[in-house]
Amino acid sequence: MSCLSACPSTHSLSLPLSTTYCPATEATHPTAQSLSLSPDSPQQPAMASTAGTVSPTLSSSHSDPASLTSSLLRARPYRFATQCATVDNPDPQHKDQYGSSSVPIYQTATFKGMGGAYDYTRSGNPTRSHLEHHIAKISNARHAFAVTSGMGALDVIFRLLKPGDEIIAGNDLYGGSNRLIGYLKTNGGITTHHVDTTDPESLVPLLTDPARKVAMVLLESPTNPLLQIADLETIARLVRQHRPEALVVVDNTMMSPYLCRPLELGCDVVYDSGTKYLSGHHDLMAGVITCDRDDVAKGIAFTINSIGNGLSPFDSFLLLRGVKTLSLRIDKQQANSVLIAQYLDALGFKVNYPGLPSHRGKAVHDRIASGPGAVLSFETGDVGMSERIVGSARLWGISVSFGCINSLISMPCLMSHASIDPAVRAARNLPEDLIRLCVGIEDPQDLIDDLEAALLEAGAVRVVDEAGARATLERVRPAGEDVVELSGLREVQRFEAGRPEVERVMTSAPGKVILFGEHAVVHGVTAIAGAIDLRCYCLAEARSDGHVSLSLPDLGYSQSWDLSTLPWHLVSAPLSSLKTGPKPDTVPSAELLALLANQFVHQDQLKAVQAAQAFLYLYMHLCAARGDAARPAQSFTIRSGLPIGAGLGSSAAYSVALASALLYSHGVLPLPSGPGAAEARITRTHADLVNAHAFLAEKVIHGTPSGIDNTVAALGGAVAFRRAVKGREGMLEPLGPQEGEGAGSAATAAARGIRFLLTDTKVPRDTKTLVAGVARRKLEEPDTINPLFDSIQRISDRAHSLLASSPASPSARASQLAELSQLVEQNHAHLVSLGVGHAALEAVRSTTGAQPWALATKLTGAGGGGCAVTVVPDDFSDEALTSLRAALASSGFDTYSTTVGGRGFGIVVPSAEGGAEVDSAEGGAEQTKVPERRRFEESQGEELARWAEGVEGWVLA
Ligand SMILES: N[C@@H](CCSC[C@H](N)C(=O)O)C(=O)O
């Protein structure tokens, strides 16, 4: 396929410096293998989708299934990793006469003859052209240029400016860029205004001031070294609106084209230091520039030829080789970074990393990029301590730069940002004690071990308990920080721990299954989810020792806190009304979350730490909202009858069970009552209050959850949910109980009572990557993906009306289930086409779809592994279900039989003659009787549900 010859501004002698890339023609697979292959073309060009399967509906309805399947496979553009690995420059001028597998190094200064493509390597070189073509391809850019360093790239870009022009740049930016900006001011008559680029509005006064000659906006996101986030998309829009002639230029080095492609967000020019992630091995210096505008490209090409800083043939070869493994390296470096950021965060350091839920810019970053990257920074509070940590590290190399496969540690103020005047650093709030970590591909445990040794040797942490596999550490806080804590402590010591209103409360909440619309829901399509009858259980009990504790036996976690040591001063102002709970747009306080993170000794258990953080946040929030000085001393034990982290809403079930236990035990909600205990009801208003609190807990755990999971867990039934996107309002419509019916009393949804079989493939998946992959395909292949979303919307709409109706007869019910089964099959086929299938899910489908069972199954949730959901018709016998479960178990899958659309959260209402009580309750009036407590704490899976059924007095929403 000859992309370049098809493009109007083909590589030519007059413009030999850059390669013009034509994404429309080359984004898809190359043509069949032939002798004219260019170097590095894949030997197996038909790389299948992730799932490797195509909708059975599509293939079976076509007269020639093989050819349709084949053409569908061929029509798909390669994914990013494949694009990186396949160097495929189809320009006939670049074909190698020997078919070399890698691009040769044209180590020559001159080329013989006249009128050829090349004459002089300063002006152009085939090895560099190959590299530039490749960079343009993976950046989805029309033009790309390779120069001798990242700063060389910025210099070339700055030469698009004229004396008198003005630049807007960030407060936090790389020291080398700042130095060049200073040079421009002194020698080029070009001035720069530094603003807070985390707030797009801060640019508007300069953009709209007619006296200002703003010709360029220079952005980094995340910034170097504070990892702050600039909303590139919004800023580009504001610049386009107010100053259309100005260029938006982005230093994308931290992200690379793998994680962020600013041209797609509306920016004009993007540059990367190729020294870093693109090459990956710190064995060359390079810079790359990409842009779409032909006039800008022409100016850049002119400068590079004039000053002669085009990348040398040998470095072009090395960089091309490095790019091939870009996504592979970043995936590993990023995964390591997340662990290291969590480790430092849990120790109580102030960590700057957009992969942490508490990062201020996380929501914006998640919108404009597909991963947090592999650079993070943290503060110790003391310059000397930071110097000792850096000096004590061994595996972490002390070095400037980042993006290398080896992990590096540095102090920006002494190294990469030393060229910024200390007074300017102080004015721009760049902490002198900041340590920057650039994470490599080593084993993360070795990295953490080395860091931990350095922290210990530097006196930044101390051991508080050496028992167990890993010592428990505590951060040693510099003197300045103690003052803050002490003032908090003085304040809280005025209060005494009290007792809860209800001495013992037991609650539960269901998990959920997404029946239709997963993935598409992210893009504004309706999703349908329903409550399942696997539940989470919470037991809250009074204690009298001034502590609050949390025990999560399923995660092997237990911790208690002295109430007087919690940072109460940060929640002294109530965050919400007790009547309505936290508002839907309440954002958890990053400051409080950061301080709460100091409270955990088990930093290595991410899920448990997140759950505990949500617990403390909710507990403290409720105490503050009650305005009650007496903070009740309580212990909470929470068990999960749901598989954790399998996409069945275990965290929402946890949040709802916890929120309801807190609200009832603190007396915010009265215990449900009715004319007699049997008629006790939970009202919709009370369920909404539980839901509002649970949503806050979900935000603490997940950052920006949609709210669908906690709503299903609180209210039960089924819901139709649509996100608000592109100015269209969102929707969260319960398909089950309505106000006045008792939150969960009426069987209005046909979903109630429909049996489903859930199968956990136990294949771990990375939801975020799968979601990002679909989003990327939507951008790259709108003509393929948008029709799939439209079809999923039609499926959800149909399911919505089916589930909202109540079939009048058994035959109507049978037809309803038959139609639901068809929708399940169709939705699954679309999900596979979106690329989120997995062989294990297909194995489940082939078992459930085989005779004698012949049931419809789809993946549920993120896909790529995880769980599958199978519709079980009413006439499907228990024996058949047992044999099907046995067949699935023999393939190594876990199965759960459930009904969907059942009841929401529940509470055990105390009764005088309840079940046998086995442990001593401490005083108190009302309390739930808990039979066979050991079974509650120790039984597994369905045995836990059986235990719960034995507890008398459940009232369910
Ligand atoms: N001595 C060099 C420092 C290079 S810093 C390299 C890189 N951009 C980083 O952020 O680490 C200089 O003064 O330029």
Give per-residue pLDDT as tens, 816-866: 999 999 999 999 999 999 999 999 999 999 999 999 999 999 999 989 999
Q: Which of 404, 408, 416, 419 to mutate to test the pocket of ligand 1 (most atoms within 8 A of CB)?
A: 416
Q: Whose CA is nearest to atom 9 of ligand 1?
A: 401
| 51: confidence class by pLDDT, cuts 50, 70, 90 | very low
pLDDT for 484 beyond 50: no
pLDDT tens by residue, 380-434: 989 999 999 999 999 999 999 999 999 999 999 999 999 888 888 887 788 999 9
Residue 628: the pLDDT is 60
Instruction: List the structure tokens of 392.
Output: 């004590």
Q: Where in the chain is the domain with CATH 3.40.640.10?
A: 3-41+86-324
The residue that leads in pLDDT, 197 or 41, is: 197
| 347: confidence class by pLDDT, cuts 50, 70, 90 | very high
In ligand 1, the atom with minimum distance to the C-alpha of 436 is 11
- Cα–Cα distance for residue pair 931/110, rounded to 1 Å: 89
Written as one string, the DSSP assignment of 844-891 is: HHHHHHSTTT---EEEETT-SSSEEEEEE-TTS-HHHHHHHHHHHHHT
In ligand 1, the atom with minimum distance to the C-alpha of 419 is 13
CA of 176 to the centre of ligand 1 (A): 6
Q: Where in the chain is the domain with CATH 3.90.1150.10?
A: 327-476
Nearest to 141 by CA among 2, 5, 243, 26: 26
Q: Where in the chain is the domain with CATH 3.30.70.890?
A: 754-900
Q: Residues of the chain with pLDDT > 70: what percent?
A: 85
Was domain 3-41+86-324 assigned CATH 3.30.930.10? no
Look up the CATH superfamily of 754-900: GHMP kinase, C-terminal domain (3.30.70.890)
Query: Long-range contacts of range 580-587, CB-CB < 8 Å, 24 or more positions apart?
Result: 580/688, 580/689, 580/692, 581/688, 581/689, 581/691, 581/692, 581/693, 581/696, 582/621, 582/692, 582/693, 582/695, 582/696, 583/692, 584/692, 584/695, 584/707, 586/696, 586/699, 587/699
- Helix pair 708-715, 684-702: axis angle to 10 deg: 150
122 labelled catalytic: yes
List 118, 174, 619, 896, catalytic entry: 174
Residue 573: the pLDDT is 52
- Cα–Cα distance for residue pair 567/564, rounded to 1 Å: 8
522 secondary structure, DSSP code:
G
Residue 766: the pLDDT is 76
Peptide bond into 852 cis (omega under 30): yes
Residue 10: the pLDDT is 31
pLDDT for 696 beyond 50: yes
Q: Where in the chain is the domain with CATH 3.30.230.10?
A: 504-746+905-956
CA of 912 to the centre of ligand 1 (A): 73
Side-chain-side CA neighbours of 763 within 13 Å: the count stands at 22
CA of 130 to the centre of ligand 1 (A): 28
- If DSSP states are collapsed to H, E and C, what string results for 296-307? HHHHHHHHHHHH
Look up the CATH superfamily of 327-476: Aspartate Aminotransferase, domain 1 (3.90.1150.10)
- Cα–Cα distance for residue pair 236/954, rounded to 1 Å: 56
pLDDT tens by residue, 128-176: 999 999 999 999 999 999 999 999 999 999 999 999 999 999 988 999 9
Q: Which of 406, 415, 419, 436 to mutate to test the pocket of ligand 1 (most atoms within 8 A of CB)?
A: 415
Q: Whose CA is nearest to atom 3 of ligand 1?
A: 416
pLDDT for 43 beyond 70: no
794 labelled catalytic: no
pLDDT for 97 beyond 60: yes
Check if the interface score ipTM surpasses 0.85: yes
| 302: confidence class by pLDDT, cuts 50, 70, 90 | very high
Q: Whose CA is nearest to atom 14 of ligand 1?
A: 176
Mean pLDDT, to the nearest integer, of 651-655? 96
List 74, 79, 95, 122, catalytic entry: 122
Q: Residues of the chain with pLDDT > 90: what percent?
A: 58
pLDDT for 748 beyond 60: no
CA of 347 to the centre of ligand 1 (A): 29
- How far from 712 is each of 687, 720, 878, CA to CA, in Å? 11, 10, 27
Contact call for residues 499 and 633 (beta carbons, < 8 A): yes
Q: Whose CA is nearest to atom 6 of ligand 1?
A: 401
- Cα–Cα distance for residue pair 660/694, rounded to 1 Å: 8
pLDDT for 673 beyond 90: no
533 labelled catalytic: no
pLDDT for 30 beyond 60: no
Nearest to 168 by CA among 146, 137, 199, 143: 199
Residue 647: the pLDDT is 86
Q: What is the pTM of this model?
A: 0.53
Instruction: List the structure tokens of 739.
Output: 């106000």
- Which CATH architecture fits 504-746+905-956? 2-Layer Sandwich (3.30)
174 labelled catalytic: yes
Residue 742: the pLDDT is 39
In ligand 1, the atom with minimum distance to the C-alpha of 416 is 5
List 276, 765, 845, 903, catalytic entry: 276
Using a 6 Å CB cutoff, which residues line ligand 1? 174, 176, 224, 273, 400-402, 416, 419
Least confident of 100-114, 124-138, 548-562: 548-562
Instruction: Point out which residues pair with 512 in neighbouring strands.
Output: 531
CA of 7 to the centre of ligand 1 (A): 38
Least confident of 70-84, 317-331, 729-743, 763-777: 729-743
